[in-house]
């Protein structure tokens, strides 16, 4: 073989190998994908929200009147008995300090009362003198009538003058008593705090006892001081009579009905069972942490487990609540396998190492899984999180 022919064979072979390598490199490659298997399993659909425990009936003890509250010595957690356990005492409060103008007004009122008392005393002395004169005049008239020296009319006038003088004396004595008490009243307005304390031998206190049997939940006002009528002092309740209140979005609350089961988690112990007792009939507008207005409704639940299982819980403890909307064995699939195909849902099923587009009908779903009612069979392998490289008929390979 000549040299030229040998070179042609060598270069031709090299070009053929290069072309084959280029063709092999440019051939369509299977797309690596993650797969999931449709299988029958438990699917639970819940509405999850934070809640808190609270004593069902909380009694707040208020101050029944204005006065000086003695220091409250009971503590939160103390057991109380209705009508027996004394929780607080209130005594009359000391009067307010007098400013210069008010003190001057009271001083003037005392002087006026003293002058009126002196005037009434003088009126009494005059009445006594008039009565003495009328009594002697009547005695003289009685002697003269026996001698027929005066007429019966004159005697009657003397008797009447004596009766009038007697009545005037009684009136003057009563007026003097009134003026005496008015003077004492005016003087009492000027009593100092020390004088009032010295006159108070014993505490004229109003005792406040527990209205119900239970436990002190919170001492709202402990320190001694003046309190107004209606001031809250303590809260009392029975921690064995707990309920759970969950503040839910109104769009979630409409899906819930009384009697639905719930699971209580995130309280520091094992999961607890509860049931919905009541959905409040009104909603309130609240501002979320993101500044969005939300309509929220209180949903109240009761524990169904024995009290011993949730006895560590108390009033106002935080819990996580999952209200169960659906629970059962269904053909389920991870939610990440589904995507929208127009108005319907669809998945890519792997058949013979190729992706096959298949529409499906879904049912209940939660944040992780979805119920497949039509379109799949147990054991079907489905592509998870399909990218835009996945199309119907594309070759795929599992990662």
Q: Beta-carbon neighbour count of residue 9 at 10 Å?
A: 11
pLDDT value at position 104? 85
| Listed residue (299, 203, 212) closest to 253, CA to CA | 299
Average pLDDT over residues 291-315: 93
pLDDT at 350: 93
Q: Which CATH number fits domain 62-95+201-237: 2.40.50.100, 2.120.10.30, 1.10.1750.10, 3.30.420.110?
A: 2.40.50.100
- 258: CB partners within 8 A, 6+ apart: 276, 277, 278, 279
Distance between CA atoms of residues 60 and 82, nearest Å: 13
**Res 323: pLDDT:** 96
Overall average pLDDT of the 172-195 stretch: 83
> Which fold would CATH assign to domain 28-42+330-398?
2.40.420
| Contact assessment for residue 198 and residue 38, using Cβ atoms and an 8 Å cutoff | no
Inform me whether the pLDDT recorded for 197 exceeds 70. Answer: no
In 3D, which of 236, 235, 234, 262 has the Cα closest to residue 248? 262
- Residue pair 294/337 in contact (Cβ under 8 Å)? The answer is no
CA distance 302 to 262: 9
pLDDT at 195: 64
How far apart are alpha carbons 55 and 314 in whole angstroms?
8
Lowest mean pLDDT among 50-64, 75-89, 145-159, 352-366: 145-159
Question: Is the model's pLDDT at 191 over the cut of 70?
Answer: yes
What does the alpha-carbon distance between residue 73 and residue 234 come to, in Å, rounded to a whole number?
Answer: 11
CA distance 82 to 280: 31
CA 239 from chain centre, in angstroms, equals 16
The 10s digit of each residue's pLDDT in 86-136 is 999 998 877 777 778 887 888 888 889 899 999 989 998 999 998 898 888
Task: Say what the pTM is.
Answer: 0.66
Q: Got the DSSP string for 62-91? A: E-SSSEEEPPP---TT-EE-TTTSEEEEEE
Whether residue 324 has pLDDT greater than 60: yes
Question: What pLDDT score does 144 carry?
Answer: 83
The domain locations on the chain are: 28-42+330-398, 47-54+239-327, 62-95+201-237, 100-191
Query: 47-54+239-327 — its CATH code?
Result: 2.40.30.170
Q: What local confidence, expressed as pLDDT, does residue 199 receive? A: 60
Nearest to 31 by CA among 398, 396, 399: 396
**For the chain, percent of residues with pLDDT exceeding 90:** 53
Axis crossing angle, helix 152-188 with helix 100-146, rounded to the nearest 10: 160
Give start and end residues of each alpha helix (H) in the chain.
3-25, 100-146, 152-188, 193-199, 250-253
Q: What are phi and psi of 380, to 5 degrees?
A: -65, 140
| CA quadruple 7, 13, 19, 21: dihedral, nearest 10 | -130
41 has a pLDDT exceeding 90: yes
* Cα 49 from Cα 149, distance rounded (Å): 115
CA distance 89 to 203: 10
């Amino acid at each position: 073989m000549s040299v030229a022919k040998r070179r042609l064979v060598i270069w031709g072979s090299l070009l053929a190998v290069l072309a084959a390598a280029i063709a092999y490199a440019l051939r369509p490659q299977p797309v690596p994908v993650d797969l999931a298997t449709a299988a029958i399993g438990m699917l639970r659909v819940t509405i999850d929200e934070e809640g808190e425990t609270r004593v069902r009936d909380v009694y707040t003890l208020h101050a029944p009147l204005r006065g000086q509250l003695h220091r409250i010595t009971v503590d939160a957690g103390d057991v109380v008995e209705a009508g027996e356990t004394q929780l607080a005492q209130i005594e009359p409060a000391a009067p307010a300090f007098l400013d210069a103008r008010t003190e001057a007004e009271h001083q003037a009122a005392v002087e006026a009362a003293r002058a009126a008392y002196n005037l009434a005393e003088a009126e009494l002395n005059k009445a006594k003198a008039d009565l003495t004169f009328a009594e002697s005049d009547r005695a003289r008239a009685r002697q003269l009538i026996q001698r027929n020296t005066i007429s019966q009319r004159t005697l009657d006038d003397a008797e009447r003058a004596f009766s009038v003088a007697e009545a005037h004396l009684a009136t003057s004595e009563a007026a003097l008593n009134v003026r005496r008490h008015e003077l004492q009243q005016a003087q009492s307005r000027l009593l100092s705090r020390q004088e009032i304390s010295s006159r108070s031998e014993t505490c004229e206190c109003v005792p406040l006892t527990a209205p119900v049997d239970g436990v002190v939940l919170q001492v709202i006002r402990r320190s001694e001081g003046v309190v107004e009528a209606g001031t809250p002092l303590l809260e009392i309740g029975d921690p064995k009579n707990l309920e759970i209140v969950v503040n839910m979005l109104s769009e979630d609350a409409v899906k819930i009905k009384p009697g639905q089961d719930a699971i209580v988690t995130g309280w520091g112990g094992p999961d607890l069972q509860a049931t919905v007792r009541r959905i409040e009939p009104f909603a309130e507008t609240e501002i979320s942490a993101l500044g969005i207005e939300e309509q929220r409704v209180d949903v109240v639940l009761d524990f169904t487990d024995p009290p011993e299982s949730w006895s560590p819980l108390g009033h106002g403890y935080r819990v996580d609540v999952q209200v169960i909307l659906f629970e059962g064995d269904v053909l389920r699939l991870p939610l990440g396998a589904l995507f929208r195909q127009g108005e319907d849902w669809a998945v890519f099923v792997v058949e013979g190492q190729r992706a096959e587009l298949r529409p499906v009908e879904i049912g209940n779903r939660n944040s992780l899984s979805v119920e497949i009612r039509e379109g799949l069979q147990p054991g079907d392998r489905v592509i998870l999180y399909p990218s835009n490289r996945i199309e119907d008929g594309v070759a795929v390979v599992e990662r």
